[in-house]
Amino acid sequence: MKLLLDENLSRRIVPFLQIAFPGSSQVALLGLEIVADAEIWRYAKENGFVIVSRDSDFHDTD
């Protein structure tokens, strides 16, 4: 399983996550920090990521 951290979670924890979840990343590291949540959902789905976010409304994406 690969984790994709939303922009509200620090990219500094990615190296530690990669020990247990190889291939994990953060949206800013992938150039996705300025895109809409729907685009992040699409990217995650197409690339086999599970999204991790602290946004309470992230799941409301249509």
Domain range for residue 22? 2-60
Q: What is the pLDDT of residues 17-55, one digit of tens each?
A: 999 999 999 999 999 999 998 999 999 999 999 999 988
For 5, list phi and psi in degrees, rounded to 5: -80, 135
> How many domains are there within the chain?
1
Residues 1-6 have a mean pLDDT of 96
Q: Which are the contacts of 31, defined by CB distance < 8 A and separation ≥ 6?
A: none
Residue 39 has what pLDDT?
94
pLDDT given at position 59? 62
Q: What pLDDT sits at residue 29?
A: 97
Contacts for 29 with CB less than 8 Å, ≥ 6 apart = 11, 14
Tokens, residue 23: 């291939």
